Amino acid sequence: MGLLILVLVLLVSASSADEDVFVGVNIGTQLSDMPSPTQVVALLKAQQIHHVRLYDTDRAMLLALANTGIRVTVSVPNDQLLGIGQSNATAANWVSRNILAHVPATNITSIAVGSDVLTTLPNAASILVSAINFIQSALVASGLDSQIKVSTPHSSSIILDSFPPSHAFFNRSWDPVMVPLLKFLQSTGSFLMLNVYPYNNYMQSNGEIALDYALFRPLPPNKEAVDLNTLLHYTNVFDAIVDAAYFAMSSLNFTNIPVIVTESGWPSKGDSSEPDATLDNANTYNSNLIRHVLNNTGTPKHPGIAISTYIYELYNEDLRSGPITEKNWGLFNANGVPVYSLHLTGSGTVLANDTTNRTYCVAREHADRKLLQAALDWACGPGKVDCSPLLQGQPCYEPDTVVAHASYAFDAYYHRMAMADGTCNFNGVATITTTNPSHRPCIFPGSGGRNETFINGTSLAPSSNSTVSGCHSQYFYGDIFIRSLVVGGVILWGAAFL
Ligand SMILES: *[C@@H]1O[C@H](CO)[C@@H](O)[C@H](O)[C@H]1NC(C)=O
Ligand SMILES: *[C@@H]1O[C@H](CO)[C@@H](O)[C@H](O)[C@H]1NC(C)=O
Ligand SMILES: *[C@@H]1O[C@H](CO)[C@@H](O)[C@H](O)[C@H]1NC(C)=O
Ligand SMILES: *[C@@H]1O[C@H](CO)[C@@H](O)[C@H](O)[C@H]1NC(C)=O
Ligand SMILES: *[C@@H]1O[C@H](CO)[C@@H](O)[C@H](O)[C@H]1NC(C)=O
Ligand SMILES: *[C@@H]1O[C@H](CO)[C@@H](O)[C@H](O)[C@H]1NC(C)=O
Ligand SMILES: *[C@@H]1O[C@H](CO)[C@@H](O)[C@H](O)[C@H]1NC(C)=O
Ligand SMILES: *[C@@H]1O[C@H](CO)[C@@H](O)[C@H](O)[C@H]1NC(C)=O
Ligand SMILES: *[C@@H]1O[C@H](CO)[C@@H](O)[C@H](O)[C@H]1NC(C)=O
Ligand SMILES: *[C@@H]1O[C@H](CO)[C@@H](O)[C@H](O)[C@H]1NC(C)=O
C-alpha cells in the first residue's frame, strides 16, 4: 500500500484562487426514495458542492438550484436526442423551455447533449453533431453562447490504442462524427467531455493494471509507466486516459481543446466477482481524485492545465439494474448520510463534512509476519509510540497477536504524525481504513474517545534506528505491475487498457 492516500491537505488556494478548476458531483435519480430537490440542494450546500451535473433538465431541481451559486451542467437525455437533432425548431423549443426559463437565476454553465451516444446509441451518432449545432444556434440567438458551453460526454472506450497514450486515436469508425464535433468544440471554446473510469480499465485488464496504479497510490519510480515516445511518466490510470484523449485529438490535428471529466468514481460495493469494489477503495480513489484535481497539476502531457471533474455520483442509486456495483457508486445514501467519509482535510473546499480524523492505520491482515513484527518493533522503538497499552494486563493486550498489536501501534504512530502522507505504510504492511478498529477496552488513537497515547522521546524498545526506521519514507512494493514488453525499442505497456 502506498503512501499517500491519507491525509489530503487540500490546497484551499487551488480552488479559491483558481476558479477554473473544480470538483463537481453527478446527480443520478434512480433511487426508490429520491430526496426532494430541496433536500438535495440542502445536502449540496452542507457539503459545499458548488458544481453539479444533472442527467436531464428537471424543472423542480433547476428551480431548487436557483440563487444558490451552484454551477449546473444539464443534459439532453438520449431519448430526446433524435427529435432535437432532426429539427432546429425542436432544439430551439427545448432551449427555451429548459434553459431560458431558468437562467440567470439558475447558473447553467454547460449542456451535455446526450450521454455516451457513440457507444450506447450508435444509431443516433449521425444526428449528434446537428443536435449540438441546433442547440448552439438557439443559445446564440438568445445571447447565452458565451456563458453556456455545449458538448457531449464520451466513454473513454472510443479511444483505441491508448497505451502508451501517445499512440492513442479515436476509433476511426467515428471520424465522421469526431472531426466535425472537434471543429465545433474548437470554434466555440467548448471542451471535450470524457467519462474516465479507471475501475473499469482495472477490471478489464486481467491483472495488467495494478490496483495501486488505478487508485492513484504511489508507485516506485521504476514501476511508473513510461511512454517511450514522449518519455512522459505516468503514475495513475486517470492521467493516462486523459492524455490518451489529448493525443487522440491531436492525431486529428486538434491540439487546443480542453478536457473536462464528466464522470469518474469507484464503486463501494460489489458481489464476489468484483472484490475491489470496497468502501476503502472507493474512499481512496475519490479522495485521491479530489486532491489530484484540486492540486491542479494537470497531466504529464499538459502540466498545469486543469482537468475539472465530476464525481460519479452523489447518491447510491438502488434502482439501477445490473451488477451490485451499479447501485453503489454514490457518496451518500438517500438520507444524506455519507456512505464513507472521504479522507479530506481543509473542509470548505468540497465536501465539508469530511472526517479526516476518523481514519485509522491498521496492519494488513495477510501481511508477512516478520515484516509486521519488525514494523511493530520500529513503531514502539524509534517510532516513539507509547506501546504500554499492549502489555499484559493493559487494555490492548488482547487479542495477543502480532496483527492486533501492530494495528494499535501503527494507528498510534499515524495519528501522532497527524495522518500525514506516507505515515501509514510500514514497508507496505499497513493500510488505511475508515472502520474504527477500537474494541473494548482498547480504544484506538484517532477514535476520539480518549487520551493521546504518545510520549515524546521515550520508548519501550531500544532507540537505535531499526532496519525499518524511516519506514514512512520507504516503500515496499509487490512485484505486480504492468508488464512491459520491449518491441523494436518501444515499450508497449502491457495490453491496451482501454
Ligand atoms: C455562474 O458561473 C460562472 C462560471 O463559474 C461564473 O463565472 C458566474 O459568475 C456565475 N454567475 C452567477 C450569477 O453566480
Ligand atoms: C436554427 O434556429 C436558430 C434560432 O433558434 C437560427 O438562428 C438558425 O439560423 C437556425 N438554423 C438553421 C440551420 O435553420
Ligand atoms: C469501433 O467502432 C465500431 C462501431 O461502433 C465497432 O464496431 C468496433 O468494434 C470499434 N472498434 C474497436 C476496436 O473497438
Ligand atoms: C494533420 O496535419 C498534417 C500536417 O498539416 C497533415 O499532414 C495531416 O494530413 C493532418 N491530419 C488530419 C487527420 O487532418
Ligand atoms: C501538487 O502539485 C505540486 C506542483 O504543482 C507537485 O509538486 C506536488 O507533487 C503535487 N502533489 C500531489 C500530491 O500531487
Ligand atoms: C455537516 O456540516 C454542516 C455545516 O458545516 C453541519 O451543520 C452539519 O451538522 C454537519 N453534519 C454532520 C453529519 O456532521
Ligand atoms: C476532528 O478533530 C477536531 C480536533 O481534534 C475535532 O474538533 C473535530 O470534532 C473532529 N471531527 C470529527 C468529525 O471527528
Ligand atoms: C487518561 O489520562 C488520565 C490522566 O491524564 C488517566 O488518569 C487515565 O487513566 C487515562 N485514560 C486512559 C484510557 O489511558
Ligand atoms: C512533545 O513534543 C512537542 C513538539 O516537540 C511539544 O510541543 C509537546 O509539548 C511535547 N509534549 C510533551 C508531553 O512533552
Ligand atoms: C535515525 O535515523 C534518522 C533519520 O534516518 C537519523 O537522523 C538519526 O540520526 C538516526 N538515529 C540513530 C540513533 O541512528
- Cis previous bond, 441, omega within 30: yes
Residue in the structure block whose three cell numbers are 493516462: 240
Pair 421, 475: CB distance under 8 Å: no
Residue 334 CA, distance from chain mean position: 21
Ligand nearest to the CA of 356: 7
> Is residue 76 a part of any domain in this protein?
yes
> Is residue 345 a part of any domain in this protein?
yes
454 Cα: distance to centroid of ligand 10 (angstroms): 19
User: Within 13 Å and on the Cβ side, how many CA atoms surround 476?
Assistant: 17
Report the distance separating Cα 218 and Cα 202, nearest Å.
Answer: 16
335 Cα: distance to centroid of ligand 9 (angstroms): 42
> Is residue 120 a part of any domain in this protein?
yes
> Is residue 50 a part of any domain in this protein?
yes
Residue 335 CA, distance from chain mean position: 23
> How do the pLDDT tens digits run along the chain, 498 residues long?
332 222 222 222 233 334 589 999 999 999 998 999 998 998 888 778 899 999 999 999 999 999 999 999 999 999 999 999 999 999 999 999 999 999 999 999 999 999 999 999 999 999 999 999 999 999 999 999 999 999 999 999 999 988 899 999 999 999 999 999 999 999 999 999 999 999 999 999 988 899 999 999 988 777 778 999 999 999 999 999 999 999 999 999 999 999 999 999 999 999 999 999 999 999 999 989 998 998 888 999 999 899 999 999 999 999 999 999 999 999 988 877 788 877 765 434 556 444 334 678 999 988 999 999 999 999 999 989 999 999 999 999 999 999 999 999 999 998 887 777 678 889 999 987 767 788 888 989 877 553 333 322 222 222 222 222 222 222 222 222 222 222 222 222 322 222
Ligand nearest to the CA of 254: 4
| Nearest-atom index, ligand 10, CA of 470 | 5
Q: Ligand 10 pocket: which of 384, 463, 465, 471 to mutate (most atoms <8 Å of CB)?
A: 465
390 Cα: distance to centroid of ligand 1 (angstroms): 56
| Residue having the nearest C-alpha atom to atom 7 of ligand 3 | 173
440 lines ligand 8 (CB under 6 A): no
- Say if residue 348 is in the same domain as residue 368: no
**CATH code for the domain in which residue 460 is found:** 1.20.58
> Is residue 480 a part of any domain in this protein?
no
- Cis previous bond, 313, omega within 30: yes
Which of 324, 357, 390 is the last residue before a domain boundary?
357
Number of domains into which the chain is organized: 2
Ligand nearest to the CA of 448: 7
Report the distance separating Cα 225 and Cα 213, nearest Å.
Answer: 9
| Nearest-atom index, ligand 3, CA of 118 | 5
| Residue having the nearest C-alpha atom to atom 7 of ligand 8 | 451
Of 110, 35, 98, 37, nearest in space to 68 by CA: 37
- Say if residue 252 is in the same domain as residue 330: yes
- Say if residue 333 is in the same domain as residue 390: no
Which of 316, 337, 357 is the last residue before a domain boundary?
357
Residue 146: exposure state from Cβ atoms within 10 A (0-12, 13-18, ≥19)? exposed
| Nearest-atom index, ligand 8, CA of 451 | 1
- Say if residue 350 is in the same domain as residue 366: no
- Say if residue 121 is in the same domain as residue 241: yes
Ligand 6 shell residues, CB under 6 Å: 46, 352-353
| Nearest-atom index, ligand 8, CA of 443 | 13
> Is residue 482 a part of any domain in this protein?
no
User: Within 13 Å and on the Cβ side, how many CA atoms surround 274?
Assistant: 23
- Say if residue 364 is in the same domain as residue 349: no
- Say if residue 110 is in the same domain as residue 134: yes
**CATH code for the domain in which residue 229 is found:** 3.20.20.80
Which domain, by its residues, includes 367? 360-467
- Say if residue 313 is in the same domain as residue 438: no
| Residue having the nearest C-alpha atom to atom 4 of ligand 8 | 451
Report the distance separating Cα 247 and Cα 227, nearest Å.
Answer: 12
Helix (H), strand (E), coil (C) string for 162-226 = CCCHHHCEECHHHHHHHHHHHHHHHHHCCCEEEECCHHHHHHHCCCCCCHHHHCCCCCCHHHCEE
- Say if residue 392 is in the same domain as residue 463: yes
357 lines ligand 7 (CB under 6 A): yes
Report the distance separating Cα 356 and Cα 27, nearest Å.
Answer: 24
130 Cα: distance to centroid of ligand 3 (angstroms): 22
Report the distance separating Cα 181 and Cα 126, nearest Å.
Answer: 11
Residue 248 CA, distance from chain mean position: 22
Which of 325, 340, 357 is the last residue before a domain boundary?
357
Of 425, 423, 387, nearest in space to 408 by CA: 387
| Nearest-atom index, ligand 8, CA of 450 | 13
Residue 400: exposure state from Cβ atoms within 10 A (0-12, 13-18, ≥19)? exposed
- Say if residue 419 is in the same domain as residue 322: no
> Is residue 259 a part of any domain in this protein?
yes
| Residue having the nearest C-alpha atom to atom 9 of ligand 5 | 297
- Say if residue 350 is in the same domain as residue 438: no
Residues 6 or more apart whose Cβ sits within 8 Å of residue 129: 177, 180, 181, 184
